[in-house]
A and B are shown apart, each in its own frame.
Chain A
Amino acid sequence: MTSDRVTQTLRSEWTKIRSVSSTGWTLSVAVVVTIGIGMLIAALTRNQYDSLPIQERLTFDPTFISFAGMTLGQLAMVVFGVLVVTNEYSTGMIRVSLAAVPRRGTFLFGKIAVAGALALLVGMVTSFATFFLGQAMLGPYRAGLGDPGVLRAVVGGGLYLTLIAVFSMGVATMLRSPLLSLGILMPFFFLISNILAAVDTTKKVGQYLPDQAGSRIMQAVPRPDDTPYGPWGGLGIMALWVIAALAGGYALLRHRDAQ
């Protein structure tokens, strides 16, 4: 009976997500931007390889170069995650939805399972595509999927995009408003994280932010820095952020009136 309820909710959430246009355009933008910028940066790098300082040539990471579009592409994933959740609130649909599925945990995690699975699919496709197309652009400097750390980095890229989307869903569940959610998440990922990373004293804090910690997994060649966690450790830190956002969203959804 419980499993019936879960299957029914998943089926219903799938119908919801495939029947609105925001799903299509946010995810296509994520794919196109990530791949496009990745290819562009890879092509530029290839042309300027000879002028790179020796230091950079030694730690040259062709895999990571092809992921250059993630910084911007992830923002489309943020928009996807935010809209999946806030569509319910901004339209008033939340009251219809919760009358149909009054167990709020089933409702929320059903929605997040469906949207998360879709994000995982799109994230993996994006990550593999941007890797292969980026390597093609790099020509003689390219890496292969069999090189050390590369497969982990490419799979990690897909996981990273997925976690970004799910984190955004959790935050949006807490905030409910699309504008407020985007107004907080966009600068958080695009500005604050970068600003913190730029200054030495705040760098230590910054490296525990979800995107900084999570993106470590996309490096195939280890860098000589003092990051206190490895690739999977970094992804673990990001996963903790995601769990916290979901727990916060669930706690608020449970106790709040539906509106």
Chain B
Amino acid sequence: MIELDGLTKRYGEKVAVDGLTCTVRPGIVTGFLGPNGAGKSTTMRMILGLDHPTAGDVRIDGSRYEQLTDPLTCVGALLDAKAMHGGRSAYNHLLCLAQSNGIPRARVGEVLETVGLMAVARQKAKGFSYGMSQRLGIAAALLGDPRILMFDEPVNGLDPEGIHWIRNLMRSLAAQGRTVFVSSHLMSEMAQTADHLIVIGQGRLLADTSMADFIRRHARSYVRVRSPQRERLLDALHEAGVTAVEAADGALEAEGDKAEQIGELAAGHGIVLHELSPRQASLEEAFMRLTAGSVEYHAQSAAAPGNWGADRQGGTA
């Protein structure tokens, strides 16, 4: 269990984390979401005692991180895959970590096997691809067989097989009763992995709730309908009490989860349908809605090539 209590971090003027109070519980996967610069990595560094909080406190199963005996056997973390000496072999990288926490040498081979890096164990880490480094970082997190695992964007750089693997890994770690805390920007991935969500924006807590509840509260399901007889369809829907709005491409979006009802309605009225597709409320949509107000770093929508000069003034924010 990880408990944050009024956790705050200021870098000069910049408030990176602002009074975070929440608990990451064992037995489930807790997703940690927030736009770029929201303070996720900073929070994780404070949990590991790497950055000193400006105010507030972090407790790991009741203790402060520095007080843990052999901390790698309590908390395993992957923060930055490339944070290792490139001239050292994967094996020696893990060996020095194991030795510092009294973890038996045999465990190094085991975790290398687990992450599939046995074949390159004696190679220098600087020759590793990002995904291989990521696997090595995951091996380091697993090394001490810890009760708490923390991953900062672990699927970055992994191939589809690797993504599938780490999803199952996190779910099985949680199923064993461990605490799993993971940040990611890949919403579809997160939706399949996490049971609970902690969402922050500009350092402040925006949501701390179950995945299902989060989506229900912040996103909507709708049915996308296209028909050559759009006006008639709209009237029919209106009569039946189904709210529908017109999408940009001329299709209709009918509120709710009512594909069957709409299909039958259209058949009843003899209306031809070209498309009838239910759209589930998604985590991505819920996330975008919730954090719309706290996104700091917006992209300009891409200007058409050649249009650059003319479009300069009109960039949308």
> Interface of A with B (CB < 8 Å)?
1, 4-5, 8-9, 11-13, 15-16, 19-22, 87, 91-93, 95-103, 255, 257-259
Please determine whether B96 and A15 come into contact, CB atoms closer than 8 angstroms. Answer: yes
Please determine whether A15 and B92 come into contact, CB atoms closer than 8 angstroms. Answer: yes
Please determine whether A87 and B85 come into contact, CB atoms closer than 8 angstroms. Answer: yes
Please determine whether A19 and B88 come into contact, CB atoms closer than 8 angstroms. Answer: yes
Please determine whether B82 and A92 come into contact, CB atoms closer than 8 angstroms. Answer: yes
Given A12-B96, A15-B96, A19-B89: A100 and B83 within 8 A (CB)? no
Please determine whether B100 and A12 come into contact, CB atoms closer than 8 angstroms. Answer: yes
**Binding stretch for chain A, among B62-70, B177-185, B221-229, B289-297:** B62-70
Minimum Cβ distance to chain B for residue A7 (Å): 9
Chain B residues near A102: list those with CB within 8 A: 48-49, 65-66, 68, 71
Please determine whether B88 and A16 come into contact, CB atoms closer than 8 angstroms. Answer: yes
Provide 27 A-B residue pairs closer than 8 Å at the C-beta atoms, listed in order of the A residue. Answer: A8-B99, A11-B99, A13-B96, A16-B88, A19-B87, A19-B96, A20-B87, A87-B85, A91-B83, A91-B84, A92-B82, A92-B84, A95-B45, A96-B84, A96-B140, A97-B100, A98-B50, A99-B49, A99-B77, A100-B100, A100-B101, A102-B49, A255-B52, A257-B50, A257-B52, A258-B45, A259-B50
Chain B residues near A20: list those with CB within 8 A: 85, 87-88
A21 to B85, CA, bound (A): 11
Q: A258-B45, A259-B51 are in contact. List 16 more A-B contacts (CB 8 A).
A: A8-B101, A8-B102, A12-B97, A12-B99, A12-B100, A13-B96, A19-B89, A91-B84, A95-B83, A96-B83, A96-B97, A99-B72, A100-B71, A100-B97, A103-B66, A257-B50
B79 contacts A by Cβ under 8 Å: yes
Minimum Cβ distance to chain B for residue A35 (Å): 27
A-B contact count (CB 8 A): 92
A101 to B66, CA, bound (A): 8
A4 to B88, CA, bound (A): 25
Please determine whether A258 and B82 come into contact, CB atoms closer than 8 angstroms. Answer: no
A87 to B69, CA, bound (A): 26
Chain A residues near B68: list those with CB within 8 A: 102
Please determine whether A98 and B49 come into contact, CB atoms closer than 8 angstroms. Answer: yes
Please determine whether A99 and B71 come into contact, CB atoms closer than 8 angstroms. Answer: yes
Interface size class of B (residues with CB under 8 A): 20 to 34
The residue on B at minimum CB distance from A110 is B100
Minimum Cβ distance to chain B for residue A41 (Å): 35
Chain B residues near A15: list those with CB within 8 A: 92, 95-96, 99
B104 contacts A by Cβ under 8 Å: no
Please determine whether B72 and A100 come into contact, CB atoms closer than 8 angstroms. Answer: yes
The residue on B at minimum CB distance from A100 is B100
B80 contacts A by Cβ under 8 Å: yes
Chain A residues near B83: list those with CB within 8 A: 91-93, 95-96
Minimum Cβ distance to chain A for residue B88 (Å): 5
Chain B residues near A101: list those with CB within 8 A: 100
B270 contacts A by Cβ under 8 Å: no
The residue on B at minimum CB distance from A9 is B100
> What 1/0 flags go to B35-70 for Cβ under 8 Å of A?
000000000010011111000000000000110111
B250 contacts A by Cβ under 8 Å: no
B127 contacts A by Cβ under 8 Å: no
Most buried by B among A1, A4, A15, A98: A15
B315 contacts A by Cβ under 8 Å: no
Chain B residues near A95: list those with CB within 8 A: 45, 48, 50, 79-80, 83
Most buried by B among A8, A21, A99, A255: A99
Please determine whether A91 and B50 come into contact, CB atoms closer than 8 angstroms. Answer: no
Given A92-B84, A95-B45, A102-B71: A258 and B97 within 8 A (CB)? no
Please determine whether A91 and B102 come into contact, CB atoms closer than 8 angstroms. Answer: no
Chain B residues near A1: list those with CB within 8 A: 69
Most buried by A among B80, B88, B96: B96
Please determine whether A257 and B45 come into contact, CB atoms closer than 8 angstroms. Answer: yes
A103 to B80, CA, bound (A): 21
Chain A residues near B87: list those with CB within 8 A: 19-22
The residue on A at minimum CB distance from B101 is A100
The residue on A at minimum CB distance from B126 is A91
A4 to B69, CA, bound (A): 10
